[in-house]
Structure 1
Amino acid sequence: MNTTAAPLLDVAGLTLKIGGSGRTVVNDVSFQVFPGEIVGIVGESGSGKTLAARAVMGFIPPAVRLEGGTIRFDGQDVMAMSGKDLRAMRGSKVGMVFQEPMTSLNPSMLIGRQLDEGLALHRKLDAAQRRALILDMLKRVGLRDPEGALTAYPHQFSGGMRQRIMLASVMLLKPALLLADEPTTALDAVVQRDVMELMVELTQANHTAVLLISHDLGMVARYCSRIVVMCQGDVVEQGKAEDILARPQHPYTRKLLSAMPHRLPARLLPQAKTPIVAVRDLVVEYPGRQGFFRKEQAKRALHGISIDVQPGEVVAVVGGSGSGKTTLGQSIAGLVKPAGGEIRFNGKPIARSDAAYWDYRLNCQMVFQDPYSSLDPRMTIGQLVGEPLRLVPDLGPAQKKARVAEVLAEVGLSDGFAERYPHELSGGQRQRVAIARAIVRRPNFVIADEPVSALDVTVRAQVLELFDELQKKHGFSCLFISHDLGVVEQVADRVIVMQDGRIVEEGPRDDIFDNPQHPYTQKLLAAVPGLESTGEGGVRLFWRRAENDASIVG
């Protein structure tokens, strides 16, 4: 990076307000991005970081108006550009990778056609030249069958592959500036590392500058040379990454850094004779698609899984996308019917036809990854939390209402929240509702499927602290499914590592993190950097495990 040269992007005094209410959402924001450098913007949800980045491309929502400030890209005033000039800039000079590629790739268009669209619009090339460039880029981003990908649809690829395709579509045009908005939030550790390394490799090859928007402070620390910290629309601190992390000056920055997950001392749990849940040789298969002339073979998602969960124990299940960890949780919860194997609850086998199964379903509750899609938008919070109590025969209406009020207070949602609807709550508040709904019946066993993956740093810390308090208070056992190794390191007593529908390693948390035996576990731990406290309000970057790869340990 050459800071003596003119900045590629110069944002000065940017102020954005919501038209109707006049509320300021971005307030006097200023920062610069120089050619070839990677700058990170961090902050909680609602801090204005995404709005500030979208304004660079002129993508301000209709309800938001520009109140003041300037955005200059390569010396040109973006706010003064005509619609024609903006269209010429977008894609060819400034590219954007969005958080969820499935919503930014057209589900009804073939991949090849989508990749060709930008080239046809911005480059004077014939169809054969464009096809050659597309195939070369798909090879560079790691697709095994570039030819086949051209005639495939987005839904036929995993999340990691879709993000690679999204990167390919943006980098085909070799933009001078790449805006990356939470590009790896929904990806597992290994895929996240691969996508970030690929993005860095492609941008360095083209000398592309990157504005990285993220709440993953470890990733920002790993890849960014400078950091901009935003809080409620204001830039509260900015500077070199190592200075911000090691010696944060603003209380909000210190708050963000202190909210990072950290390992707690291992708990000593009493050994029970009988596990609360025992799974033996569990097999789950999904039937293949059928046609007139062919029938696909069934896909086996779980290959004879056996696990035990002791009373009061938190067992974390980790692994990459497609490893079977969510299928395991759903099959234990009774949402997916196994093709074979056995589930025991308190030592008794569970069969769908007997009374023991009914008792188990009432005592096994689930917290889903996205509470917004798992909460009925037509029901109030009080109705949603109280719904599981319909099947409790010894509670009257007044007692049920009191139980709902009690559990809402336990999760920090008192004073009128019972009358609100899900859309009136923030993401963190909705996750608290999901947890309240799972524990309102005082179950013995809770399955939490990626319960904090969509939350920002401080809200995640609050929800994890709440979950820990409730688990200690009510003593329920928990199967905690996550791809965030930092979160697992904080909450788990024992860790199970899955790959391709099989358990490759399991053991106490400290053994798995400090002395992993299986190559896949080692690869997982080597993929994600961590942040450890320096004891002076700052943090430093560290690797849980080194790998013989210069891109990781360099």
Structure 2
Amino acid sequence: MMANDTLLAVEGLTLEVARAGMQVVKGISFTVAPGELLGIVGESGSGKTMAARAAMRLEPPAVRRVGGSIRFEAHEITSMPPAELRRLRGARIGMVFQEPMTSLNPSMTVGRQLEEGLVLHRRDLSADARRRLVLDMLDRVGIAEPVAALSAYPHQFSGGMRQRIMLASVMLLRPALLIADEPTTALDAVIQREVLELMVDLTRDNGTAVLMISHDLSMVARYTDRVIVMQEGAIVEEGPTRDLLQHPRHPYTRKLLAAMPRRGPARDVNRASVPIVEVRDLVVQYSGRQGFLRRSAPKRALHGIRLHIDPGEVVALVGGSGSGKTTLGRAIAGMIQPSGGDILFSGRPIDGPRRGHWADYRLNCQMVFQDPYSSLDPRMKTGALVREALRLVPGMSGPERRARVAEVLDEVGLGGDFAERYPHELSGGQRQRVAIARAIVRRPAFVIADEPVSALDTTVRAQVLDLFAKLQQRHGFACLFISHDLGVVEQVADRVVVMQHGSIVEEGDRDAVFDAPRHAYTRQLLSAVPALEATPDGGVRLKWRFADEPLTIRETDRAEAERSARPRSELEAGLG
């Protein structure tokens, strides 16, 4: 029997890939108490998502349970009939996935999708009661026009709004346990904080426990009561969040914490009289969509941007989703035609009458994309992918190209037989190394890196960042580093440029922007993510950037949190 203070009990759970006979979860045991926030952290492939999905019997078909027990509210999940499982899923255990667009049906309106769970699990409610409950929940999660949202489709909302809708659909049924699988990975810092604090508020109001899966240690440190660390399918350490992060015992936990981005000493960058790249009054405007009998107004993505990057300098471009930072990067790379303004390379306009200067700029400007798998041709081997970038370099013979490719692959740590492998035979970190190798093989003067490590887990991200820094110092190329991860920016940048709504609102040296931001939006960005400060025991502790910031949500007084929480509606109270 389960103890009264245990909601979910996993004992000796072992999962394996049936055909390969490989264990992906190895005899793990843990519990979740009612109302508790439990975090599970680990690298990609550690088994954390598989273990959480097993609580709802949502393992992939190729994965089977070969041992162990999963009990929820004293009911054995592993032997539960399908009909009982359907009654359990959604009603008592809800799940929020990493990418809401893959879990929201694109062909169904938001109202119909939110009402679907109530129709299935709350048959005592009338259609009018369901509608009022859905509208109240949409208002609760911050959707500006709940009535209009009922007839809208998921693609009409931003990523943050879609995640709010997904959270609303799960919390409508007031489950006892919420499984959140990397719920904010694709969101920028401000939206991430808003979604997470909304999730904590909703679960606190309903007494819901949360099983939070993440590789973001600052998020885990801020929101969870207890944390489990997984490595290669096994639990290597667990305990109260603050104790475990400040005093880690297992070497793997210390390795994870050591891989967190940290600010290094400021570099001396020689300010040149002529920047390597300069942007003057750049405007990008998209024409309005043509529809039947009407046309929408044009949308301006960039409003007269002025920016310069000196030789050898790393300039970080930060801002929320939709701020225009990727548009600016692509415009500088020549992938988007500006509507106005000038882009200069070494003091000369790149779109001038001399086409030779444009060709010289394209050879000296390279780009590293966010997702290397979509930017690498899956039909080409690694060596050929890197060698392709040398095709237009004048005066380079075949043997010289092969020697350069071998040299640069060795520089990025992909020597040996890696040149003969296809992209699908490489890990995510290795594919990103190939993308970096392809960008620097020409020895460019300028590299644009667009979210180059956002899809990587903690330790691989640290390896790629260290590699990028070494290559930048060795070859001396300037870099425009586009990112929403402020921890990464703090580690790599010499200068920081902050964008909001298509305009630059602040720029300056890294230390000045991070320690004394002048613009309110910059302060908002920096306040959204707490810094992690190293401890003498090889761990980390939360460190707020500004003195007037609050304590973490999990450290605030519970009574005060309940007093400040938004009261439930009369309809919600009646359904309790």
SS at match of 1:284: strand
Which residue pairs with 2:566 in the alignment? none
Which residue pairs with 2:491 in the alignment? 490
CA distance in 1, matches of 2:11, 2:325: 46
SS at match of 1:390: coil
Residue correspondence of structure 1 range 37-48 to structure 2 within 5 A: 37-48=36-47
Which residue pairs with 1:171 in the alignment? 171
Per-residue CA distance 1:206-264 (angstroms, 9 max, x = gap): 00000000000000000111000000001000011111111101000000001100000
CA distance in 2, matches of 1:87, 1:303: 51
Aligned partners of 2:496 and 2:510 also within 8 Å: yes
Aligned partners of 1:523 and 1:547 also within 8 Å: no
Aligned partners of 2:222 and 2:552 also within 8 Å: no
Residue correspondence of structure 1 range 527-538 to structure 2 within 5 A: 527-538=528-539
The reply on whether 1:514 has 2:521 as its aligned counterpart is no
Which residue pairs with 1:402 in the alignment? 403
> Once the 2 structures are TM-superposed, how far is the Cα of residue 149 of structure 1 from its aligned partner?
1.1
Aligned partners of 1:445 and 1:476 also within 8 Å: yes
> Once the 2 structures are TM-superposed, how far is the Cα of residue 126 of structure 1 from its aligned partner?
2.0
Aligned partners of 1:276 and 1:310 also within 8 Å: yes
Which residue pairs with 2:562 in the alignment? none
CA distance in 2, matches of 1:216, 1:305: 32
Which residue pairs with 2:376 in the alignment? 375
Letter in 2 for 1:52: A
Which residue pairs with 2:574 in the alignment? none
Letter in 2 for 1:442: R
CA distance in 2, matches of 1:251, 1:172: 41
Which residue pairs with 1:6 in the alignment? 5
Name the CA shift for 1:202/1:326 in 2 (closer, same or farther; >3 Å): same
CA distance in 1, matches of 2:363, 2:112: 49
Aligned partners of 2:223 and 2:552 also within 8 Å: no
Letter in 2 for 1:239: G
> Once the 2 structures are TM-superposed, how far is the Cα of residue 170 of structure 1 from its aligned partner?
0.6
Letter in 2 for 1:118: G
CA distance in 2, matches of 1:5, 1:408: 58
CA distance in 2, matches of 1:459, 1:202: 34
Name the CA shift for 1:325/1:62 in 2 (closer, same or farther; >3 Å): same
Name the CA shift for 1:43/1:548 in 2 (closer, same or farther; >3 Å): closer
Aligned partners of 2:527 and 2:549 also within 8 Å: no
Which residue pairs with 1:416 in the alignment? 417
> Once the 2 structures are TM-superposed, how far is the Cα of residue 352 of structure 1 from its aligned partner?
6.6
CA distance in 2, matches of 1:432, 1:352: 34
> Once the 2 structures are TM-superposed, how far is the Cα of residue 4 of structure 1 from its aligned partner?
7.2
TM-score computed with the length of structure 2 as normaliser:
0.94
The reply on whether 1:433 has 2:420 as its aligned counterpart is no
Aligned partners of 1:141 and 1:168 also within 8 Å: yes
Residue correspondence of structure 1 range 315-326 to structure 2 within 5 A: 315-326=315-326
Which is further off, 42-51 or 414-423?
414-423
Please tell me the root mean square deviation across aligned C-alpha atoms, in Å. 1.3
Which residue pairs with 1:122 in the alignment? 121
Which residue pairs with 2:387 in the alignment? 386
CA distance in 2, matches of 1:548, 1:226: 23
Which residue pairs with 1:151 in the alignment? 151
SS at match of 2:175: coil
Per-residue CA distance 1:85-123 (angstroms, 9 max, x = gap): 111111111000000111111111111111111111111
Aligned partners of 2:248 and 2:537 also within 8 Å: no
Letter in 1 for 2:514: F
> Once the 2 structures are TM-superposed, how far is the Cα of residue 351 of structure 1 from its aligned partner?
0.6
CA distance in 1, matches of 2:446, 2:237: 44
CA distance in 2, matches of 1:4, 1:422: 49
Gaps of 5+ in 1: none
Letter in 2 for 1:49: K
CA distance in 1, matches of 2:139, 2:352: 48
SS at match of 2:390: helix
SS at match of 2:432: helix
Which residue pairs with 1:282 in the alignment? 282
* Count of residue pairs the alignment pairs up: 552
> Once the 2 structures are TM-superposed, how far is the Cα of residue 523 of structure 1 from its aligned partner?
0.7
Aligned partners of 1:526 and 1:546 also within 8 Å: no
Percent of residue pairs identical: 67
Name the CA shift for 1:156/1:236 in 2 (closer, same or farther; >3 Å): same
Which residue pairs with 2:350 in the alignment? 350
Which residue pairs with 2:94 in the alignment? 95
> Once the 2 structures are TM-superposed, how far is the Cα of residue 369 of structure 1 from its aligned partner?
0.7
TM-score computed with the length of structure 1 as normaliser:
0.98
CA distance in 1, matches of 2:352, 2:256: 47
Aligned partners of 1:286 and 1:298 also within 8 Å: yes
> Once the 2 structures are TM-superposed, how far is the Cα of residue 549 of structure 1 from its aligned partner?
5.9
Letter in 1 for 2:523: Q
Per-residue CA distance 1:353-391 (angstroms, 9 max, x = gap): 622111111111111111111111111111111111111
Which residue pairs with 2:187 in the alignment? 187
SS at match of 2:198: helix
The reply on whether 1:224 has 2:230 as its aligned counterpart is no
CA distance in 2, matches of 1:255, 1:486: 17
